[in-house]
Amino acid sequence: MPGFILFREPYGPHPLQTMDLHLPTYKLRTFEDKMWIIFIHGGAWRDPANSKADATSLLHALIHTPQNTTLCGATLNYRLSPSARAPDNTARHPDHIADILTAVTFLQHRYHFGRNYILVGHSAGATLALQSLRSIYNGKNIDSIIPSAEGSFLPGGLPRAVVCTEGIYSLPDLVAEYPDYAEFVSNAFGPPSQTWFDASPACLPGWKSEYDGRIVVVQSREDELLSLHQATGFKAMLEAEGARVDLVELATGKHDEVFKRGELVTIVKGVLDELKASLTR
């Protein structure tokens, strides 16, 4: 029976530049057969109540099982924008996405998983997961904002799948639907400008040609902070381009409950099983 190890690993000097790693001890020194799940938490780019710990139940359910010898997990903290509870935080876009790319690059350099990983993002973490798949933001090549990228955007390649839940895909649509959210959007992205479009996955054309992996969008109808609008809008945009996307609507689950629930475990497990089947064929 495999055992498990769980440890905290810094990927930069800031106290929030840390991640938790969940690894089966089984043949830890062989990397070739491993598949990784990398979780990115949400919280409107600022809320200190959301953190890498949001993935605890998901990673326990998927990784800490008697059968698991190959699935490894990482859950990322990243620098946050200021909030009433944490006024000293100073991050502004693109700091959040730069940290995500630095963290994934750090993991890739250490564990050499190539494309054998999936990203799972909740809320603003879903936005970050999708942003990390595309190399151009705000007219700048994102390589130029990641100090550790060493000239290569996500070395090892893009993830085979990305699972987004309760995600924010279009900042302009979000604020049109919920004018109050302009506060946290401006807090993270500055006052309304082209940056809001450039940073929004649903406003960025070219998904079909730029990303060949699987995109799964999950949205609960009981989410009290987001209607289905973000999810259906992103799906319509991808389908108009001819890109593949699966939208899974959940009947229940509040915004900050979905990542703790069994439905998400089942969805992520389904994606992993399909990948495993397609990779061994």
- Binding residues (CB under 6 A) for ligand KYN: these are 42-44, 46-47, 83, 123-124, 168, 181, 184, 225-226
Name the residue nearer to ligand KYN (CB basis): 81 or 195: 81
Active site residues: 123, 223, 255
5: helix, strand or coil = strand
Helix (H) or strand (E) holding 279: helix 262-280
For β-strands 4-10 and 35-40, DSSP reports them as: unpaired
Hey, how many other C-beta atoms are within 10 angstroms of the C-beta on 108? 18
Name the residue nearer to ligand KYN (CB basis): 86 or 203: 86
Name the residue nearer to ligand KYN (CB basis): 72 or 188: 188
Name the residue nearer to ligand KYN (CB basis): 43 or 94: 43
For β-strands 18-24 and 4-10, DSSP reports them as: antiparallel
Quote the least distance from Cβ 226 to ligand KYN, whole Å: 5
Name the residue nearer to ligand KYN (CB basis): 13 or 179: 179
Kindly give, in sequence order, each residue whose CB lies less than 8 Å from that of residue 174, ignoring residues fewer than 6 positions away: 168, 181, 185, 230
Tokens representing 219?
């949205």
For tokens 């139940």, the residue is: 57
Quote the least distance from Cβ 49 to ligand KYN, whole Å: 7
Quote the least distance from Cβ 131 to ligand KYN, whole Å: 15
Beta strands in 12-64 (DSSP E): 18-24, 35-40
Quote the least distance from Cβ 95 to ligand KYN, whole Å: 17
Quote the least distance from Cβ 171 to ligand KYN, whole Å: 11
Q: 37 forms bridges with which residues in the sheet?
A: 73, 118
Kindly give, in sequence order, each residue whose CB lies less than 8 Å from that of residue 151, ignoring residues fewer than 6 positions away: 143
Nearest 5°: the CA angle 132, 188, 82 is 120
